[in-house]
Amino acid sequence: MKGQLSYEYYVSLLIFLLASFYVMLKINQYLPPFKEFVLKQRIYSEAYQLSEILVNDPGEPPDWNLSNVKRIGLQHQLKKKNLVSSYKINLLNESCEKFGYSFIKDKLGVPQDVDFRLSVFKDDKLLVSCGIDKRYSIKESLSRTVYIDGKDYGKVVVEVFK
């Protein structure tokens, strides 16, 4: 047999190329929404981690103040889950006003590529609002109900942006 190409060869090659092209189009059609979903899940997990540090960690040292803080945490000295201290909430607000967003970001150990906004409410009254006010394409928000000093209920809202 000589090196001749037949009509069937060209037809089968064309069918193979068309099928490959169709499969590549379908993969490209489903890949971007999947990537966005994965990114949203990653941002949500960062929001959850940040809220967990705030609500269920007393900080470092546990009786931190503005002069000795190594890590910010709002947990009450009784160390019960979702019980936060109004004193520490006031310190968080004061440190945000005095030192700014970058100080809070550093003391919470948030990575540089993550931007966030923290809000603490008590009876729909805003106690703390710290973070950035930018528009991002992807934002995830997490709200946690907390018990403030064993007397009142409040809410800690963490918004993370990418």
Q: How confident is the model at residue 2 (pLDDT cuts 50, 70, 90)?
A: low
The pLDDT assigned to 118 comes to: 93
Q: Give the model confidence (pLDDT) of 58-78 as tens digits.
A: 999 999 998 899 999 999 988
- Judging by beta carbons within 10 Å of its beta carbon (0-12, 13-18, 19+), is residue 87 exposed, middle or buried? middle
What are the residues whose beta carbons fall under 8 Å from the beta carbon of 27, sequence distance 6 or more?
none
Mean pLDDT of the chain: 89
Residue 153 phi, psi dihedral angles, 5° rounding: -95, 145
Alpha carbon distance 39, 160 (integer Å): 12
The pLDDT assigned to 20 comes to: 94
- What is the DSSP track for 78-93? T--TTEE-HHHHHHHH
Q: Give the model confidence (pLDDT) of 8-17 as tens digits.
A: 888 999 999 9
**pLDDT at residue 129 greater than cutoff 70:** yes
The domains of the chain are located at 7-161
